[in-house]
Amino acid sequence: MEFHELDLSERLLLARRGTAYFAQRMAELSDTDFDSGTLLAAWTRRHLIAHVGYNAAALCRLLDWAATGIETPMYASAEQRAGEIDEGATLSPAALRNLFHHTAARLDEKWRHLPESAWTAEVRTAQGRVVPAAETVWMRVREVWIHAVDLADDGRFGDFPTVVLDSLLTDIVGMWRRKGLGTGLVLTVDDRAPIAVQENSPTTTRVSGPLAAVVRWAAGRGAIGLETHGDTVQPPAWL
């Protein structure tokens, strides 16, 4: 079953579980650990935690848009978003922890009180996609689960619920297809039928392994526990 086939209450639960998982990973870090790197080359843990906190605030703006009909973008611009993260990275560890918890609580409150009719209201993501407000739940699920691994503190794709992994793989492959990427790439998860990213192209590379390992690789977080045959490639860009 895919994420979007679940009841709204189940989708929200997965977002809350992911928030708790990220919080657990963050709680295991000492204040000095905040200065260390992450799986994202350009960011320290300070940048990453600031980003996840400000992402929740940005999603709150989309929910305000859905509830009021007044256009409220996630960010004023890509430059404003990047500057906000850089400035947030200068905060103290205590302030960064508070930022994460405060904005996560605000987002959860917005979800709890969003009028039923507003869940289908159309809003626009930072990438320019027009989506129903309900899509904010999946956007947050992706954010907290994947970035918990990016903290480089024992977070593992193997800890993700299966429905999240399946939906991430669908999301990633779908994005590659829309962008015309991944020509010749075939993914095989355990005993499932192979997935040809671009269905009419000759196979040049096969990547196979357990679901969590394939999703980790596809999301650009490294090849662990995989078998590859053919051309050695990095996964195409996703987001």
Nearest partner of 55 among 32, 77, 29, 81, judged by Cα: 81
- Cα separation of 135 and 131, whole Å? 6
Nearest partner of 120 among 67, 56, 55, 60, judged by Cα: 67
How many residues in total does the chain contain? Answer: 239
Q: Hey, CA dihedral for 139, 140, 141, 145, is it positive or negative?
A: positive
Instruction: Report yes or no: 23 and 126 within 8 Å, Cβ to Cβ.
Output: no
Supply the pTM of this predicted model.
0.95
Per-residue pLDDT of the chain (239 residues; tens, 9 = 90+): 899 999 999 999 999 999 999 999 999 999 999 999 999 989 999 999 999 999 999 999 999 999 999 999 999 888 999 999 999 999 999 999 999 999 999 999 999 999 999 999 999 999 899 999 999 999 999 999 999 999 999 999 999 999 999 999 999 999 999 999 999 999 999 989 999 999 888 999 999 999 999 999 999 999 989 998 887 778 999 88
How is residue 85 written in tokens? 């993260």
Please give the sequence-ordered ranges of beta strands (E in DSSP) within the chain, or none if there are none: 122-124, 130-132, 185-189, 195-196, 205-209, 227-230
CA distances from 129 to 18, 70, 73, 122 (A): 23, 17, 12, 10
- Cα separation of 11 and 33, whole Å? 32
Residue the block writes with tokens 């590659």? 176
What single-letter DSSP state applies at residue 192? S
How is residue 115 written in tokens? 């009028």
